[in-house]
Amino acid sequence: MTRESKVDIPKHKNAQWQKFLSNIQMSFDKSDKAFRTHLSRIYKSRSLPFYKLSKGTKIVSKQEGITNELFQYYSEQLKVPAVNYCNEHEGQINRKYKELVNRLSALNDNIEKTSTAEITCIIKILKPKKSTGFDSVSNVIIKKLPPTYIECRYPDDWKIAKIITRNKLKSSILKCEKICPISLLATHSKLVEKLLLLRIRHWAATNRLVTPEQSGFRPKCLLPTPVLSIYQEAKNNMVANILTLALYVCKLEAMGLPQDSSLSPYLLIVFHADLTNYLGAHSCHLFGDDLCLLIKSPTMKKLGSMIDQLENEGTRVCNQ
């Protein structure tokens, strides 16, 4: 590769990225479809099948052995975690949990039972998809059922989810922690999940648990929002010659449990809704569990002092 080519390639990449951001800026006021179209041109990778599983120094290649290893791994993940009372942080969480349980047990408020009208409203907003789940039932079938079939019952068979695994890496030999599990619910189970989601969302909104900096898994909160917010602020800092440190935090295992659920992502953002309270007076934005933080340096005479200040503040935030 010639020297000119090495110089032209980064320039071309930078120009394409600027063009991509400009298209996002132009389509921000439009539907989310335009943003997804541009994004799909960059990320086109598909999940590859895997036929072997790595466990320590052993390689499991038989289908039955792979199934048993994955079953054992996810069974451990689904267990209730044991409280380490030697850890001050876990002990404080456990004490607060017991206080809340005692406070709730003293209340006489009864949970509102599910009504036929509530189920009917959820059925109406279902998409008329003809594809069936593993229970051989589609949304179209449910939408065509007479209202007299609604009995507001939840049998035990609808509480079982089927877990399928997908390859997150471009490799045929994987470890259990590198596999993305997806839970498939029966079509009727999705109705109950939607019912719980609407109630929990109303409860969280009433108590203002979710911060405005969170843009994930909520109505009218799109993925372009954090992208444009961080991009615009970083651009303004560059124009003003303000030294800025950008931190991007993405958890290796966001939930640690099977995904592809409408309820569990919202429970996740409620779980860490107070995360922004511990970051200090910095600009931040959340999309689900992905955190982006901008730390601006104070004006100093020496560049080295400004860099040291940013490094120390970034280290403090990461350690906290």
pLDDT at 250: 75
Q: What is the pTM of this model?
A: 0.68
Q: State how far the Cα of 9 lies from the Cα of 4, in Å rounded to an integer.
A: 9
pLDDT at 254: 53
pLDDT at 244: 85
Q: Give 10-residue mean pLDDT values along the chain (320 residues).
A: 78 80 61 58 61 83 87 83 80 85 79 86 88 84 86 82 78 79 83 88 87 79 74 84 82 57 82 79 79 82 83 81
Question: Do 34 and 20 touch, CB atoms closer than 8 A?
Answer: no
pLDDT at 173: 80
| Strand duo 173-174 + 52-55: pairing | parallel
- Per DSSP, the three-state class of 29 is coil
pLDDT at 232: 84
DSSP per-residue letters across 200-267: HHHHHHHTT-S-TTB-SSSTT--THHHHHHHHHHHHHHHHTT--EEEEEE--SSSSSS-B--SSHHHH
Cα separation values, 189 from 139, 141, 193, Å = 12, 14, 6
pLDDT at 44: 54
Give the side-chain half-sphere CA count within 13 A for 272.
21
Residue carrying structure tokens 């953002």 = 269
Q: Locate 145 and state its tokens.
A: 């059922």
pLDDT at 260: 60
Question: Do 32 and 227 touch, CB atoms closer than 8 A?
Answer: no
Q: State how far the Cα of 286 lies from the Cα of 275, in Å rounded to an integer.
A: 9
Q: State how far the Cα of 24 lies from the Cα of 36, in Å rounded to an integer.
A: 10
In this structure, the number of other CB atoms found within 10 A of the CB of residue 20 comes to 14
pLDDT at 276: 78
Q: Locate 273 and state its tokens.
A: 């809704």
Q: State how far the Cα of 125 lies from the Cα of 91, in Å rounded to an integer.
A: 43
Report phi then psi at 21, rounded to 5: -65, -35
Strands (E), 29-94: 52-55, 58-60
Closest CA to 120 of 92, 142, 94, 95: 142
pLDDT at 40: 58
The structural domains of the chain, with segments of one domain joined by +, span 17-45, 47-79+113-207, 210-320
pLDDT at 227: 75
DSSP per-residue letters across 251-300: -SSSSSS-B--SSHHHHHHHHTTTGGGGS-S-EEEEETTEEEEEEEPPP-
Question: Do 187 and 127 touch, CB atoms closer than 8 A?
Answer: no
